Amino acid sequence: MTVPCRTQNFICVLFFCFLDVENIINISQFLRNMLSKKKLVIDFYTRMMNKMYSIFGDMPFIKQYWPFILTGFLCYLSTRIFYSKYASQDKKKDIINSTYQTPDEIAEISENNSDDTQNDENEECDDDYQPSLPSDLEHIPLNYDRISIDETIDRSNEFYNFMNLRRTVRHFSQEDVPIEVIRNIIRTAGTAPSGAHTEPWTYVVVHNMEIKKQIREIIEAEEEINYKKRMGKQWTTDLKPLKTNWIKEYLTDAPYLILLFKQLFSFKNGVKRMHYYNEISVCLSAGLLMTAVHYAGLVSLTSTPLNCGPALRTLLNRPSNEKLVLLLPVGYPAEKCLVPDLQRKDLSEYTIEML
């Protein structure tokens, strides 16, 4: 049987594609070991050639062009070995020398360097680093009014009862809200703590109906695929009691859509500034935003449009260092709006007290 040339080409490409770096390194180590044992090599080579001939005997393309294929393979092999060796060295260097390491990288480096050499090196380079905040930052007295313990108890209780009324709303009235209210709500969100005071959030406020329609189009198209293909049976089954689906009327009904982006890093005076714990900081800010929405007598819906981040980022002209975290429609609830009758866990179910 003669295998067509195109199939043989395809087999060759597949062969190269499926060889990952580790396999190549293993093969090269194996070959090196073999070279140290000449007789074995000759034996192995003869057997290999026989085997190859029995496999590729019916493949004239491979039979004719095997020296080129072999050369190509050897070039590929040496490039990959060279690349993997130097790329991994560069990556290690980057991690060690960069001004920013993620908490996981820090943990990894300290685990791998149980001796203190690394720390000594870092101490030597201290003068090369400049803080993002002013180095002569003044420390001022805390603006704090002490209240009585009775008032503290009352306030904590009142606030809990108030916050316990917050609900996620999926049916919005089209009634407008003054932009000033939205600005104050976002100002409140901006008071959130952030890793090293990097304030890694961008709030995009959309009131324009045309843009809201485009956002809805993007989200509904993706959500239909999410619900039908990506999320899987368990997830969609878990969502059934909440009566959610890919039709999102609230995206055009609510007067405002607030899209919250996390900034992975930023530039200040041309210097790259890393944003530590950017996702945690942004989520804390979102918590304050929702609290402020509730306090202002409005409602919101915390949503995470799956797979829509890049399209929405492009639509809203956000740079590539920003990633969409949440989208919150904000406004008044629709008349006779229903919400699922959910019960919240009791304090004892999620608190461990060590008093």
Residue 189's nearest CA partner among 277, 291, 294 is: 291
Q: Which is nearer to ligand FMN, 44 or 246 (CB)?
A: 246
Nearest distance from residue 210's CB to ligand FMN, in Å?
23
The distance of Cα 125 from the centroid of its chain, to the nearest Å, equals 31
Nearer to ligand FMN, 188 or 244 (CB): 244
Q: How far from 39 is each of 26, 30, 34, CA to CA, in Å?
A: 21, 15, 9
Distance in Å, CB of 157 to ligand FMN, minimum? 20
Q: Which is nearer to ligand FMN, 47 or 230 (CB)?
A: 230
Cα–Cα distances (Å) from 20 to 9, 14, 84, 229, in that order, read 19, 12, 10, 29
- Residues lying near ligand FMN in the complex (CB under 6 A) are found at 167-168, 170, 242, 244, 301-304, 342
Both structure tokens of 114 = 């149980």
Nearest-approach distance from CB 339 to ligand FMN, in angstroms: 6
Q: Shortest gap between Cβ of 213 and ligand FMN (angstroms)?
A: 19
Nearer to ligand FMN, 17 or 165 (CB): 165
Compare residues 75 and 163 and give the one whose CB is closer to ligand FMN: 163
Q: How far is the CB of 261 from ligand FMN (least distance, A)?
A: 15
Say if residues 241 and 302 touch (Cβ distance below 8 Å). Answer: no
Q: Looking up tokens 């108890």, which residue turns up?
A: 153
Nearer to ligand FMN among residue 39 and residue 345 (C-beta): 345
What is d(CA 24, CA 343) in angstroms, rounded to the nearest whole number?
Answer: 56
Comparing every residue's Cβ against ligand FMN, the nearest one is 168
Tell me the closest approach of the beta carbon of residue 242 to ligand FMN, in angstroms: 6
Locate all alpha helices (DSSP H) within 190-308, ordered by sequence. 209-225, 232-239, 250-253, 278-295
Q: Which is nearer to ligand FMN, 175 or 238 (CB)?
A: 238
With tokens 């180590």, the residue in question is 29
Q: Under DSSP, is residue 247 helix (H, G, I), strand (E, B) or coil? A: coil
* Least separation in angstroms between CB 330 and ligand FMN: 14
Cα–Cα distance for residue pair 325/304, rounded to 1 Å? 7
Provide the residue type at 43 as one letter: D
